Structure 1
Amino acid sequence: MTTANTESTGVPGVIEPKIGEELLSVEGLVKHFPIRKGLLQRQTGAVQAVDGLTFNVTRGETLSLVGESGCGKTTTGRLLTRLLEPTSGRIVFEGKDISHLSEGKMRPLRRDVQMIFQDPYGSLNPRHTVGKIVGAPYKLQNVKTEQGTKKAVQELLELVGLSPEHYNRYPHEFSGGQRQRIGIARTLALRPKLIVADEPVSALDVSIQAQVVNLLEDLQSEFDLTYVMIAHDLSVVRHVSDRVAVMYLGKIVELADRVSLYEKPMHPYTVALLSAVPIPDTKRKAKQDRIRLQGDVPSPINPPPACRFHTRCWKAQEICKTIEPPLVELAPGHRSACHFPENATPEQEATAQAAAKEDPATSKQNPAG
């Protein structure tokens, strides 16, 4: 979570503020995976994994992407780290457009943008020792350390809660939590500015999850890290996030700070997700209304027109089938893409509907609007 930090610019007497500056900006990000059939492999359709995301990430904060499986969270993370090439849209990192940079031009930026993978078993090469795995970034980026790579790796292992003696061991000798710590150590080797964490604790036991989450928070405070956290566990998200973006079928349907989103969610999909979060207090649990969405998530190959959630929404009306609601700010820092937002005043609801009719992109896609 965000703390007040500053960093020296290298110029005597000049201190550069860390918090509040925009580190990453995403505008209209799209990723469609083509579907090809036949002998000539002609394109017959496309999987619309990510379809028009716009958001920004400021230095030192944690932005979490949440949603059901298949909503495009992991694809978004791979786009941000340029492990995937965007179909369209812009990704701007520290003022530089990295959307379509070649591999050669992206190589220096790999120092600043790193990723923690979901599977601590599949993300480590079983044939390499821990020392070789964690030291790989130094070799790939040709980075020299003062006391040698081995010493630097051993310091990283200590930093993430492992022993320097683990340097010569292999991944199969460690538990799941320890393997994830090894992956985190590898990610930290080049002191990145942005880390995309793809469900870093979902494959771990509950008893280990809290330890890894606390480790990530400690590292953020110590190294002024910025996180884009991908998760489906809303309890974990509430603990680590500054802001939360809720995704559904490749689109962001709600974006707000943590407190506002959990206490006063505005999009019906967010309300349904939060109603499924387990509550340990039996008295509070009895008062909670569990919302069970009807039907399955539509296919991203042929998503519903206009509002993509209208096929499962209990508040859907005709306008939801003809006009796509834009992601509009209904309260300070709280954006929602819904014609009939929950927990909203009549003025906020009127603002949402007026914005949909005035939005040029919406009107173009939906002539009925």
Structure 2
Amino acid sequence: MSESPEPLLSVQGLEKHFPITKGLIKRQVAAVKAVDGLSFDVVKGETLGLVGESGCGKTTTGRLITRLLEPTGGKIVFEGRDISHMSQSALRPLRRDMQMIFQDPYSSLNPRHTVGAIVGAPFRIQGVRTEHGTKKAVQDILELVGLNPEHYNRYPHEFSGGQRQRIGIARTLALKPKLIIADEPVSALDVSIQAQVVNLLEDLQNELDLTYVVIAHDLSVVRHISDRVAVMYLGKIVEIADRKDLYESPMHPYTTALLSAVPVPDVKRRSERERIRLQGDVPSPINPPAACRFHTRCWKAQEICRTVEPPLAQLDVRHQVACHFPENVPSDAVPEDAGTPVPG
């Protein structure tokens, strides 16, 4: 990971509330709090994994970062510029530096356009001219992602799921972006194809000096590709840590429960591991629990968890957790905003 004096991307208190309206005059009666106060940084050259259950706000976060959605509150700072409420015309030049890989390789490609038109669209939209023409540039990109340059005139329906995702990646890479938001880039693919695409993303990062935010719910994929991992629950980040620290010593009970569900091929190790089964369903983001949002399903919850929201505190080097009673806490860990050690 390359050092940088400031983060490439900084998210501060990010919120997205979708209004729920009623009646002819569309009066707002409630709101879906899909993202409710996220803060994290991503430095140049690293990969941040964003994980959590379905419906926790991961995809919404990715769309907010790329400004496909307008934030309700908070700040998004990219390369030192606040892009939170920037107009679409002002955002257009920045689109070259921020791109997104979409989850579904079938619906994200226009079936009426050829591969050449799809991958060449960014050049046309941004008015970018290349030395040897757009067609040659597109064919070079196709070759870079493991496709045949002769595929230029073919249509998406002629390709498999894995090949379509490679086409989507090629389109993302066309203008050599600095930041790529990968929204479940391999979840719709076969396991054998998943490994190929993950390895391709890693090779491209090394070759082109890319920075990734990888959104996923497959913890095995996240462990393989990420430098740091942020765990989301019901619109909030509950833990951010270095990949090794998070997988070996998770501090938040929710993270511990998630990791206990990861399949283990070794039968002996599987029998030795305790499987934690969370009780109940994920609460509604329309009316989330007060204070700690996980307290309704947490086996460690006490009265303070129902009345005081835990801050995302730094308990170890590159390890933050939002919990009143975290696990695996070093004996000398003291939160930055507290005067006494957190109970273990």
Equivalent of residue 235 in structure 1, options 194, 216, 220: 220
Correspondence list, 1:35-184, <5 A:
35-184=20-169
> Are 2:310 and 1:316 equivalent residues in the alignment?
no
Question: What is the distance in 1 between the residues matched to 2:47 and 2:331?
Answer: 32
1:352 and 1:286, CA in 2 relative to 1: closer, same or farther beyond 3 A? Answer: farther
Question: What is the distance in 1 between the residues matched to 2:173 and 2:37?
Answer: 31
> Are 2:201 and 1:224 equivalent residues in the alignment?
no
Structure 2: give runs of 5+ residues left out of the alignment: none
Equivalent of residue 30 in structure 1, options 15, 33, 45: 15
Name the SS of the counterpart of 2:305 in structure 1: helix
Match of 1:277 in 2: 262
Structure 1: give runs of 5+ residues left out of the alignment: 5-17, 357-369
Q: By how many angstroms is 1:134 displaced?
A: 0.2
Question: What is the distance in 2 between the residues matched to 1:167 and 1:40?
Answer: 50
Name the SS of the counterpart of 1:49 in structure 2: strand
Decide whether the 8 Å contact of 1:77 with 1:196 is kept in 2.
Answer: yes
Match of 2:314 in 1: 329
Decide whether the 8 Å contact of 2:313 with 2:337 is kept in 1.
Answer: no
1:338 and 1:104, CA in 2 relative to 1: closer, same or farther beyond 3 A? Answer: same
> Are 2:209 and 1:214 equivalent residues in the alignment?
no
Q: By how many angstroms is 1:117 displaced?
A: 0.2
Normalising to structure 1: TM-score of the pair?
A: 0.90
| Cα-Cα RMSD | 1.6
Name the SS of the counterpart of 1:152 in structure 2: helix
Deviation readout 1:70-122 (Å, 9 max, x if unpaired): 00000000000000000010000000000000000000000000000000000
Question: What is the distance in 2 between the residues matched to 1:169 and 1:328?
Answer: 52
Q: By how many angstroms is 1:354 displaced?
A: 4.3
Match of 1:339 in 2: 324
Name the SS of the counterpart of 2:30 in structure 1: strand
- How many residue pairs match? The answer is 341
Question: What is the distance in 1 between the residues matched to 2:6 and 2:267?
Answer: 43
Decide whether the 8 Å contact of 1:20 with 1:59 is kept in 2.
Answer: no
Question: What is the distance in 2 between the residues matched to 1:351 and 1:115?
Answer: 35
Normalising to structure 2: TM-score of the pair?
A: 0.97
Question: What is the distance in 2 between the residues matched to 1:332 and 1:141?
Answer: 42
| Identity of matched residues, % | 77
Question: What is the distance in 1 between the residues matched to 2:8 and 2:66?
Answer: 13
Deviation readout 1:233-259 (Å, 9 max, x if unpaired): 000000000000000000000000100
Q: By how many angstroms is 1:286 displaced?
A: 0.7
Q: By how many angstroms is 1:344 displaced?
A: 1.9
Decide whether the 8 Å contact of 2:57 with 2:232 is kept in 1.
Answer: yes
Question: What is the distance in 1 between the residues matched to 2:116 and 2:325?
Answer: 55
Match of 1:9 in 2: none
Question: What is the distance in 2 between the residues matched to 1:354 and 1:61?
Answer: 30
